[in-house]
Structure 1
Amino acid sequence: MSERQTEGRAPGVALLGVRHHGPGSARAVAAALEQYRPDIVLIEGPAEADPLLALAAHRDMAPPVALLAHVVDDPAQAAFWPFAAFSPEWVALRHALEHEVPARFIDLPATHTFALAEQAVAHPEPPEQPAAAPLDPIAELARLAGHSDPEQWWDDAVEHRLPDGRGDALAPFRTIAEAMAELRPGGEATGEATERRSDLLREAYMRRQLRAAVRAGHRRVAVVCGAWHVPALAAKVPVGTDNARLKGLPKARVELTWVPWTHRRLSQSTGYGAGIASPGWYEHLFTSPDRTVVRWMTRVAAFLREEDHPVSSAHVIEAVRLAETLAAMRGRPLPGLAETTDAVRAVMCEGSDVPLALVQDRLVVGDRLGEVPDEAPAVPLQRDLTRLQRGLRLKPEPDERDLDLDLRKDTDAARSRLLHRLALLDIPWGRAGASRSGSTGTFRESWRLRWEPELAVAVAEAGIWGTTVGSAATARARDRAAHAGTLAEVTGLAEVCLLADLPEALPTVLKALADRAALDADVAHLAEALPALVRTLRYGDVRGTDATALRGLAEGLAVRICIGLPPACGSLDAEGAGAMAAHLGATHAAVALLCADGSPDRPEPERSALRERWTATLRVLAGRDTVPGLLRGRAVRLLLDDGQWDAGEAARQMGLALSLATPPADAAGWIEGFLAGGGMLLVHDTQLLGLVDDWISGVPEQAFPDVLPLLRRTFAGFEAGVRRTIGERVRGGAGGGAAGGGARTSDRPGFAAEPDRARAEAAAATAALLLGLAPHPGPADHPGLAPHPGLTDHPGLTEVQR
Structure 2
Amino acid sequence: MTTRIYGIRHHGPGSAKSLRAALDEFDPDTILIEGPADADPLVALTASAEMIPPIALLAYVAAEPAKAAFWPFAVFSPEWQAMQWAAEHEVPAKFCDLPASQTLDIKDRHREKGDPLEDLAAAAGYDDAERWWDAIVESTSDAGTFDALNEAMASLRESTTIDERTLQREAYMRQTMRKALKDGSERLAVVCGAWHAPALNQLGPAAHDARLLKGIPKTKTSLTWVPWTHSRLATSSGYGAGITSPGWYHHLFTETDKPITRWLTKVARVLRTEDLPVSSAHIIEAARLTETLAAMRSRPLAGLSEVTEATRAVLCDGDEVLLELVSARLVVGEKLGAVPEETPTVPLDADLRAKAKTLRLNQEAAARKLDLDLRKDNDLAKSRLLHRLRLLGIGWGTVTASEVRSTGTFRESWTLEWQPEYAVAIVEASMWGTTVLAAAEAKVLDQANRDDATLGDLTKLLEKALVADLTNVLASLLKLVESAAALDHDVAHLLAAIPPLTRTIRYGDVRGTDATALTRVTDSLLVRISAGLPSAVTSLDDDNAAEMRRLIDDAHGSVMTRDDHEASEQWLTTLHSISHREDVHGLLIGRIVRLLRDADRITQQDSEARLSRALSVGAEPAAKAAWVDGFLSGGGLLLVHDRQLLRLIDDWLSGLGEQDFTDALPLLRRTFGSFDQGERQAVGQAVRDPNNDNKPTTATTLDEERGKTATKAVLEILGVS
When structure 1 is superposed on structure 2, of 139-148 and 221-230 the one drifting more is 139-148
CA separation in 2, counterparts of 1:279 and 1:624?
A: 68
Q: Alpha-carbon deviations, 1:504-538, whole Å to 9, x = none?
A: 12233223323332333222222122211221111
CA separation in 2, counterparts of 1:275 and 1:425?
A: 30
Aligned to 2:118: 139
Q: Alpha-carbon deviations, 1:388-437, whole Å to 9, x = none?
A: 11111110110111111111111111111001100000000011122222
Could you tell me whether the CA contact under 8 Å between 2:233 and 2:239 is conserved in 1?
no
Aligned: 1:228 with 2:205: no
Question: How big is the shift at 1:357?
Answer: 1.8
Three-state SS of the structure 2 residue aligned to 1:184 is helix
When structure 1 is superposed on structure 2, of 559-568 and 667-676 the one drifting more is 559-568
Aligned to 1:765: none
Q: Alpha-carbon deviations, 1:303-362, whole Å to 9, x = none?
A: 323332222222122112212222333343432111111111111111112222221111
Three-state SS of the structure 1 residue aligned to 2:659 is coil
Could you tell me whether the CA contact under 8 Å between 1:686 and 1:734 is conserved in 2?
no
1:653 to 605, 610, 616: 610
Aligned: 1:712 with 2:669: yes
Structure 1 residues 691 and 142: alpha-carbon distance in aligned structure 2, compared to 1, 3 A threshold? closer
Question: How big is the shift at 1:269?
Answer: 6.4
Q: Alpha-carbon deviations, 1:202-229, whole Å to 9, x = none?
A: 1111111111111111110111011111
2:132 to 138, 143, 153: 153
CA separation in 1, counterparts of 2:416 and 2:348?
A: 20
Three-state SS of the structure 2 residue aligned to 1:16 is strand
Structure 1 residues 384 and 268: alpha-carbon distance in aligned structure 2, compared to 1, 3 A threshold? farther
Q: Alpha-carbon deviations, 1:249-274, whole Å to 9, x = none?
A: 32222111111111111114669751
Aligned to 1:380: 347
Question: How big is the shift at 1:557?
Answer: 1.9
CA separation in 2, counterparts of 1:718 and 1:287?
A: 55
Q: Counterparts in 2 of 1:166-245, with a 5 A limit?
A: 169=143, 171-185=144-158, 194-245=161-212
Question: How big is the shift at 1:248?
Answer: 3.8
CA separation in 1, counterparts of 2:264 and 2:682?
A: 55
Three-state SS of the structure 2 residue aligned to 1:370 is coil
2:556 to 588, 591, 597: 588
Could you tell me whether the CA contact under 8 Å between 1:81 and 1:272 is conserved in 2?
no
Aligned to 2:74: 84
Q: Which runs of 5+ in 2 are unaligned?
A: 696-704, 707-721
1:19 to 1, 4, 9: 9
Aligned to 1:339: 306
Structure 1 residues 46 and 273: alpha-carbon distance in aligned structure 2, compared to 1, 3 A threshold? farther
Give the TM-score, by structure 1 length.
0.83
Q: Alpha-carbon deviations, 1:572-630, whole Å to 9, x = none?
A: 22222211111111111223245x24xxxxxxxxx53x444322321232111111111
Three-state SS of the structure 2 residue aligned to 1:702 is helix
Structure 1 residues 450 and 467: alpha-carbon distance in aligned structure 2, compared to 1, 3 A threshold? same
Q: Which runs of 5+ in 1 are unaligned?
A: 1-10, 122-127, 164-168, 598-606, 746-794, 797-802
Q: Counterparts in 2 of 1:632-647, with a 5 A limit?
A: 632-647=589-604
Q: Which amino acid aligns with 2:52?
A: A
CA separation in 1, counterparts of 2:443 and 2:55?
A: 30
Question: How big is the shift at 1:146?
Answer: 4.0
Aligned: 1:282 with 2:249: yes
Structure 1 residues 41 and 26: alpha-carbon distance in aligned structure 2, compared to 1, 3 A threshold? same
Q: CA RMSD in A?
A: 2.3
CA separation in 1, counterparts of 2:49 and 2:402?
A: 40
CA separation in 1, counterparts of 2:173 and 2:401?
A: 54
Could you tell me whether the CA contact under 8 Å between 2:236 and 2:244 is conserved in 1?
no
Aligned to 1:105: 95
Question: How big is the shift at 1:721?
Answer: 3.7
When structure 1 is superposed on structure 2, of 34-43 and 647-656 the one drifting more is 647-656
Three-state SS of the structure 1 residue aligned to 2:288 is helix
Structure 1 residues 159 and 725: alpha-carbon distance in aligned structure 2, compared to 1, 3 A threshold? closer
Question: How big is the shift at 1:482?
Answer: 1.6
Q: Counterparts in 2 of 1:390-789, with a 5 A limit?
A: 390-483=357-450, 484-594=452-562, 596-597=563-564, 608=566, 610-734=567-691
Structure 1 residues 18 and 560: alpha-carbon distance in aligned structure 2, compared to 1, 3 A threshold? same
Question: How big is the shift at 1:83?
Answer: 0.7
Structure 1 residues 662 and 321: alpha-carbon distance in aligned structure 2, compared to 1, 3 A threshold? same
Question: How big is the shift at 1:246?
Answer: 2.4
Structure 1 residues 509 and 325: alpha-carbon distance in aligned structure 2, compared to 1, 3 A threshold? same
Could you tell me whether the CA contact under 8 Å between 2:60 and 2:221 is conserved in 1?
yes
Question: How big is the shift at 1:677?
Answer: 4.1
Could you tell me whether the CA contact under 8 Å between 1:80 and 1:271 is conserved in 2?
no
Three-state SS of the structure 1 residue aligned to 2:4 is strand
Aligned to 2:28: 38
Question: How big is the shift at 1:566?
Answer: 2.3
Three-state SS of the structure 2 residue aligned to 1:224 is strand
Three-state SS of the structure 2 residue aligned to 1:255 is strand
Figure out how many residues of one structure are paired with residues of the other and give that number.
695
Three-state SS of the structure 2 residue aligned to 1:542 is coil
Aligned to 2:316: 349
Question: How big is the shift at 1:456?
Answer: 0.8
CA separation in 2, counterparts of 1:248 and 1:377?
A: 30
Three-state SS of the structure 1 residue aligned to 2:529 is helix
Structure 1 residues 644 and 226: alpha-carbon distance in aligned structure 2, compared to 1, 3 A threshold? same
Q: Alpha-carbon deviations, 1:546-575, whole Å to 9, x = none?
A: 232222222222222222222222222222
When structure 1 is superposed on structure 2, of 74-83 and 468-477 the one drifting more is 74-83
1:366 to 330, 333, 337: 333
Aligned: 1:55 with 2:35: no
Could you tell me whether the CA contact under 8 Å between 2:150 and 2:194 is conserved in 1?
yes
CA separation in 2, counterparts of 1:577 and 1:230?
A: 69
Aligned to 2:260: 293
Question: How big is the shift at 1:100?
Answer: 0.7
Q: Alpha-carbon deviations, 1:76-113, whole Å to 9, x = none?
A: 11111111111000111100100111111111111111
Could you tell me whether the CA contact under 8 Å between 1:539 and 1:547 is conserved in 2?
no
Aligned to 1:306: 273
CA separation in 2, counterparts of 1:92 and 1:148?
A: 31
CA separation in 1, counterparts of 2:241 and 2:314?
A: 33
Question: How big is the shift at 1:237?
Answer: 2.7
CA separation in 2, counterparts of 1:563 and 1:462?
A: 43
Structure 1 residues 723 and 309: alpha-carbon distance in aligned structure 2, compared to 1, 3 A threshold? closer
Could you tell me whether the CA contact under 8 Å between 2:622 and 2:664 is conserved in 1?
yes
Q: Which amino acid aligns with 2:296?
A: M
CA separation in 2, counterparts of 1:45 and 1:523?
A: 59
Q: Which amino acid aligns with 1:341?
A: T
Structure 1 residues 296 and 726: alpha-carbon distance in aligned structure 2, compared to 1, 3 A threshold? closer
Q: Which amino acid aligns with 2:434?
A: T
Q: Alpha-carbon deviations, 1:703-728, whole Å to 9, x = none?
A: 12222333333233334443344444
State the identity as a percent: 54
CA separation in 2, counterparts of 1:640 and 1:311?
A: 58
TM superposition outliers: structure 1 runs of 4+ over 6 Å: 269-272
Could you tell me whether the CA contact under 8 Å between 1:442 and 1:542 is conserved in 2?
yes
Could you tell me whether the CA contact under 8 Å between 2:634 and 2:674 is conserved in 1?
no
CA separation in 2, counterparts of 1:196 and 1:684?
A: 74
1:266 to 212, 233, 238: 233
Could you tell me whether the CA contact under 8 Å between 1:418 and 1:500 is conserved in 2?
yes
Question: How big is the shift at 1:236?
Answer: 4.0
CA separation in 2, counterparts of 1:305 and 1:694?
A: 58
